[in-house]
Chain A
Amino acid sequence: MEPLAPISKIAEWGPNTVIAVAALLGVGFGFVLERAGFGNARTLAGQWYGYNFAVLRVMFTAIVVAMLGLFGLVALGVVDLSLVYVNDTFLWPQLIGGLIFGVGFAVGQYCPGTAVVACATGKIDAMVFMGGFFGGLIAFFFAYDTLETFYLSGDLGRVLLPDALGIPVGVVVVGVVAIALGAFALTHVLDRKFAAKRATP
């Protein structure tokens, strides 16, 4: 069948429709982040210290649901994957950027999306985090010329895991689901272990 989605592109939505839908998606995004407990640094910190694995559980569940939906609809011919935005791969800056971001995450206990939600519910530490984030952005802007060679290194373009690993997309999807289920099981084992430790006088 002819692909029906991404709807905005197939149906050629005007800019105002896209804006309205973007804002609505944002409302849903912000609402769920807050409901998950991510508007509070204490929830997020639990990931690193083993008292609350909400970060891993929420994130991997969301990835699995969206991935199954997306690639399922692609397999059915409903979604044209070539019209879906896929982040380009720049291997080295994404690796180093991820490490720096992870350090910032565990030091500040927010990431940008969760900090915005926390700001919206009055968390002053999140407002300071966003102040620091602004400062870090300005620093990056002025460091950019120095960093540009590195920023553009490892450029592989639009590469999906199935292409990179040379295995069929269905196998990768099943593999991601299996890894997520394994990770969930591990967090419950750790929960019991920590609960037992707490119960020991």
Chain B
Amino acid sequence: MADSIPAAPLEPPVPVEVSPAPEPIAAIPAAQLEVPAPAEVPAAPVIGAEAKPEPQPYWNSYKAGAVLGLVLLAAFVFTGRGLGASGAVTRMAAYSLQKVEASLHGGTSAEADTLAKNNTYTGQYLKGPADPLDDFLVYMLVGVVVGGFLSGVLARRASFEVVHGPHSNIGRRLALAGLGGVLSAFGARLARGCTSGQALTGGATLALGSWVFMLAVFAGGYAIAWFVRKEWI
């Protein structure tokens, strides 16, 4: 049959036996999915550091997941609490707001009557006698920084760089990273936690709301991912 002979590939050829899935992924030229990129399309431009030894490969996902599960289980057994990240950052933001505002209005004497202290939400951290940063999750977050740094350095993955997709650029990547940060913060506060405190910890304790949150995160992520696909594929 004449039409079974492929013509010059003006368009990406679609094999007859494979029904083309109408997913956005189907439109991607195959080569772009491969990680190693040619020199003119650097996958990850490294600022500063030029020649450095190859980073070690990441752990197998199931091994990493099992170890993470054991860390979480240890948290339950030793402390009766789970893992968290956004709670500590929230306390730091409340604390910073308070400090910045007080310094703008004349030092520590102004700390008693700030917007942060009078704010319904941040007031819960700032009104009492307790130091807002003297909290389980804040100490944990300090550990996360140390642990992440240790792992990154030992595996030769620590370097100043902007991670972006092969067809994106530094400006677009940073703009979207900032926007993503704003949205994540708002969502995490509404939901009372993030991927660690809700999805992971709440998921393992079988908390109803945490499972609702986790499924909503995947739904929201897949709903928007198509619109920003050019950033990564």
Cα–Cα, bound, A86→B210 (Å): 9
How many A-B pairs with Cβ below 8 Å? 558
Decide yes or no whether B41 CB sits under 8 A from chain A: no
Of B64, B89, B222, the residue contacting A137 (CB under 8 A) is B89
Chain B residues, CB < 8 A from A156: 208-209
Instruction: Given the known inter-chain contacts A101-B194, A116-B148, please indicate yes or no for A58 contacting B68, CB distance below 8 A.
Output: yes
Within 8 A of A (CB), among B161-189: 161-165, 173-174, 176-189
Within 8 A of A (CB), among B58-105: 58-59, 61-62, 64-83, 85-86, 89-90, 93-94, 96-97
Within 8 A of A (CB), among B23-59: 23-26, 30-31, 33-34, 43-44, 47, 58-59
Cα–Cα, bound, A75→B136 (Å): 27
B175-213 to A contact mask, C-beta < 8 Å, 1/0: 011111111111111111111111111111111111111
Do residues A159 and B144 form an inter-chain contact, with CB atoms below 8 A?
no
Do residues A125 and B177 form an inter-chain contact, with CB atoms below 8 A?
yes
Chain B residues, CB < 8 A from A129: 177-178, 180-181, 184
Chain A residues, CB < 8 A from B161: 122-124
Cα–Cα, bound, A145→B123 (Å): 12
Do residues B177 and A23 form an inter-chain contact, with CB atoms below 8 A?
no
How many residues in B have their beta carbons less than 8 Å from beta carbons of A?
Answer: 135
Smallest Cβ-Cβ distance to B211: which chain A residue: A161
Instruction: Given the known inter-chain contacts A129-B180, A132-B181, please indicate yes or no for A98 contacting B216, CB distance below 8 A.
Output: yes
Within 8 A of A (CB), among B92-128: 93-94, 96-97, 116, 119-122
Decide yes or no whether B15 CB sits under 8 A from chain A: yes
Q: Distance in Å from the Cβ of B194 to the closest Cβ of chain A?
A: 5
Decide yes or no whether B145 CB sits under 8 A from chain A: yes
Do residues A39 and B148 form an inter-chain contact, with CB atoms below 8 A?
yes
Chain B residues, CB < 8 A from A51: 33, 233
Cα–Cα, bound, A22→B147 (Å): 12
Of B15, B76, B157, B195, the residue contacting A113 (CB under 8 A) is B195
Chain B residues, CB < 8 A from A114: 195
Decide yes or no whether A96 CB sits under 8 A from chain B: yes
Decide yes or no whether A77 CB sits under 8 A from chain B: no
Cα–Cα, bound, A93→B221 (Å): 17
Cα–Cα, bound, A60→B214 (Å): 11
Do residues B181 and A131 form an inter-chain contact, with CB atoms below 8 A?
yes
Cα–Cα, bound, A173→B203 (Å): 11
Decide yes or no whether B220 CB sits under 8 A from chain A: yes
Instruction: Given the known inter-chain contacts A6-B78, A109-B177, A198-B33, please indicate yes or no for A94 contacting B119, CB distance below 8 A.
Output: no
A85-129 to B contact mask, C-beta < 8 Å, 1/0: 111111101111111111111111111111111111111111011
Question: What are 9 A-B contacts defined by CB distance under 8 Å?
Answer: A66-B73, A84-B80, A111-B195, A112-B89, A120-B145, A125-B174, A151-B190, A172-B206, A197-B26
A residues touching B (Cβ–Cβ < 8 Å)?
5-9, 18-19, 21-37, 39-43, 45, 47-51, 53-54, 57-67, 69-71, 73, 79, 83-91, 93-126, 128-142, 144-145, 147-148, 150-151, 156, 158-164, 169, 172-173, 176, 184, 194, 196-201
B residues touching A (Cβ–Cβ < 8 Å)?
13, 15, 18, 23-26, 30-31, 33-34, 43-44, 47, 58-59, 61-62, 64-83, 85-86, 89-90, 93-94, 96-97, 116, 119-122, 136-137, 139-153, 155, 157-165, 173-174, 176-225, 228-229, 231-233
